Amino acid sequence: MSFTLLGLIATLAGSASLYLASAHQRWRPRPWPARPARAAAWLLWAAAIGLFGQGLQPLAAAFCFATALMLTLTVLPYLGALRGMLRRPDDGPR
């Protein structure tokens, strides 16, 4: 598996960790504990930068990380909203 793909996975995992710690997240009934989830997000993002740096030149690594971070932090809330819209009516509020 390439370092770039691993960097993308680490970026997505870090963003998901940060999103799941938010009080307004819609994936789980209750958010994750904020402090450990935020720490995990920062560690995963640091690992992602390192992984991107292994596979790409420094400027390209920074650009790919920033682009992946913007994409994941934008898409994750919409996925939660989509999940809420696709839920069956008999499920009730969660």
Output the DSSP codes for 24-73.
T-SSSSSPPPHHHHHHHHHHHHHHHHHHHHHHS-HHHHHHHHHHHHHHHH
Quote the pTM value.
0.85
Question: What local confidence, expressed as pLDDT, does residue 59 receive?
Answer: 96
Tokens 């710690």 found at: 21
What's the token pair of residue 79? 């996925």
The model's pLDDT over 64-77, given as tens digits with 9 standing for 90+, comes to: 999 999 999 999 98
Write the pLDDT tens digit of every residue in 32-55.
Answer: 999 999 999 999 999 999 999 999
Q: How confident is the model at residue 1 (pLDDT cuts 50, 70, 90)?
A: confident
Q: Token pair for residue 19?
A: 């999103």
- pLDDT (tens digit per residue) in 17-30: 999 999 888 888 89
List the domain boundaries for the chain.
Answer: 3-85
Which of these, 62, 75, 72, 5, lies nearest to 41 by C-alpha position?
72
